Structure 1
Amino acid sequence: MHSGLAQCQSSRYRALVNPALTAATAVRHDDAGTHSRPEIVLVEAPVALVFNGQSPLVLMATPVALDDLITGWALSERVIDDASELQVLDIVAQGEAWQVEASIPDALMPRLAGHGRVGAPNSACGLCGTERLSDAMRAPQPTERMPAMPWPTLSELQGLLREFNDHQVLNQQTGAAHAAAWVDDLGMLLREDVGRHNALDKLIGARARSGRSRHSGLLLMSSRASYELVHKAVSAGISRMLVMSAPTSAAIAQANQYQLELAAFTRELGFTHYAR
């Protein structure tokens, strides 16, 4: 196990400390000189997603909310159509790696074709590593969409961003986590991960498992808007998306094609809407 972590006492999350965090010794160089100090570091670990005993891929991810991760990944990749079709059976720590075991109806197993990852797993990429070029740029399969919340007013945006920052517990401790949040009439639901696409998959899973997929709302992310994130948002039936950084050309094109309202450069003083 990572240093600073208690040995997992069962296949469930029973570690005495947060499995998302570990400790490292670092040497600080600044105007006060050079000195050693402990640092809290975000865990990035291999996570195998196993469906009916078969693992189509291994992700590099932060090992928390892994039940949300496998559910959200299966939903955003259209392996399943509803969260009720997937049952998480076990979450197992194997040294520094993790395995998430789930069952889905046998009839859905062919949908996993083409989802195998080639080469070393990478926390920075969601669609890369697919087996064919056509899979990497495949069209999303949108689910039924609920109407989006109205664009926030300036005062609402400022409150939203304060709440967004306050909810990012892992990033506050490490500075290394991406965040994805769903905002609706029930409030803010947020998930974090070392990978931005993992954070979104965790959020999609949590949103579906909590029954909030039918609520009007909006998606807020700490990252840029890339093709893969828009692809996942569209597949999850999300209609409005705000990101902190810039969009890519492919993200804008896909958002326009599938009627996703996309805004970027989100700050307390406003945002830039890439109108369709």
Structure 2
Amino acid sequence: MTKSKTHSSCEPKPITVTQYKDGQWAVHPDIVSIEVPIKLNFEGESHTLWAWPENLGDLVAGHALLDLDGGSAKTTVEKVCNDEFTVTIGDTIENNLEPGKLHGSEILSAIATFIEEEGQWHGTGCFHRAGAYNAKTHTMLHRTEDIGRHNCIDRLAGWASRTETPLSGLVLMISARVTASLCAKAIRAGYKFIISRSAVTSAAIAMAQEHDVTLVGFARDQEKRFTVFHDLQTPRVLT
């Protein structure tokens, strides 16, 4: 799969805003994230995504795999123009590994590093992030950022396709809440172990139970806590 270059206008846009704070009005400079429509051509149909315009090849490939085709496979991405891509699905990638196990202290250490790393959200407050973490080597193999949390999952799937990496053998770390739609997308990508800094929903828990997915929420190092919402009889979260 071809990796696309950074969009020429992905840097935050400077604007002037009027802000009310502490009982006072003030006009001052600010920045906002760039968000643009991305056209994805797949199997003769056109689809539009809204995204932060960087590394778009991974985004469109992952979206084609997780939302339009399913499964884990190699992909070919053709850049038609600056914000338009055509994706073709290739050979299947085997994706049935075990993600390993983590002690509680290891979860908190990993989530702390994941959250504290410098990223786009530090300037705009507009971004989610997700990462593919190797529990066996205690390394973050790849991290993605985007305005939409689902886009972050797509970007990881595109990276996995490009590098032929089975996501089932890795832990998904994410800054966003785990809802039904996000959990379903993560499961389609192959994840069996999900750790979120935020909340989870009842539907996400039900999906985790149905698909034998370990689901951890509220993982917050500064508060020294996390909540295991579902794990297996032979647990992946070690006490």
TM-score, scaled relative to structure 1: 0.71
Aligned to 2:77: 88
Deviation at 1:91, TM superposition (A): 5.6
Aligned to 1:180: 130
| Secondary structure at the counterpart of residue 254 of structure 1 | helix
Task: Provide the rounded CA distance (Å) in 2 between the counterparts of 1:91 and 1:182.
Answer: 29
**Cα distance change on mapping 1:214 and 1:179 into 2, 3 Å:** closer
Quick one: which amino acid aligns to residue 227 of structure 2? T
1:157 aligns with 2:112: no
| Secondary structure at the counterpart of residue 156 of structure 2 | helix
Deviation at 1:52, TM superposition (A): 4.9
| Aligned 8 A contact 1:168 1:179 in 2 | no
**Cα distance change on mapping 1:232 and 1:195 into 2, 3 Å:** same
Deviation at 1:81, TM superposition (A): 4.2
Percent identity of equivalent pairs: 29
**Cα distance change on mapping 1:255 and 1:224 into 2, 3 Å:** same
Aligned to 2:188: 235
1:67 aligns with 2:57: yes
Quick one: which amino acid aligns to residue 187 of structure 1? T
TM-score, scaled relative to structure 2: 0.81
Unaligned residue ranges in structure 1 (runs of 5+):
1-10, 109-142
Task: Provide the rounded CA distance (Å) in 1 between the counterparts of 2:167 and 2:38.
Answer: 29
Matches within 5 A, 1:126-275: 144-154=95-105, 156-184=106-134, 185=137, 187-188=139-140, 189-213=142-166, 216-268=169-221, 269-275=224-230
Task: Provide the rounded CA distance (Å) in 2 between the counterparts of 1:23 and 1:83.
Answer: 40
**Cα distance change on mapping 1:31 and 1:270 into 2, 3 Å:** closer
RMSD across aligned C-alpha pairs, in angstroms?
A: 2.6
Counting matched residue pairs gives 221
Task: Provide the rounded CA distance (Å) in 2 between the counterparts of 1:186 and 1:209.
Answer: 22
**Cα distance change on mapping 1:52 and 1:34 into 2, 3 Å:** same
Indicate the structure with greater strand content: 2
| Aligned 8 A contact 2:178 2:196 in 1 | yes
Question: Which contiguous aligned blocks of 4+ residues in structure 1 show a shift greater than 6 angstroms?
Answer: none
Q: What does the per-residue CA deviation read over 1:196-235, in whole Å, with 9 as the maximum and x for residues that have no partner?
A: 1111111121133223326732111111111111111111
Q: What does the per-residue CA deviation read over 1:225-249, in whole Å, with 9 as the maximum and x for residues that have no partner?
A: 1111111111111110011221111
Unaligned residue ranges in structure 2 (runs of 5+):
232-239
**Cα distance change on mapping 1:42 and 1:14 into 2, 3 Å:** closer
Quick one: which amino acid aligns to residue 54 of structure 2? V
Task: Provide the rounded CA distance (Å) in 1 between the counterparts of 2:72 and 2:99.
Answer: 20
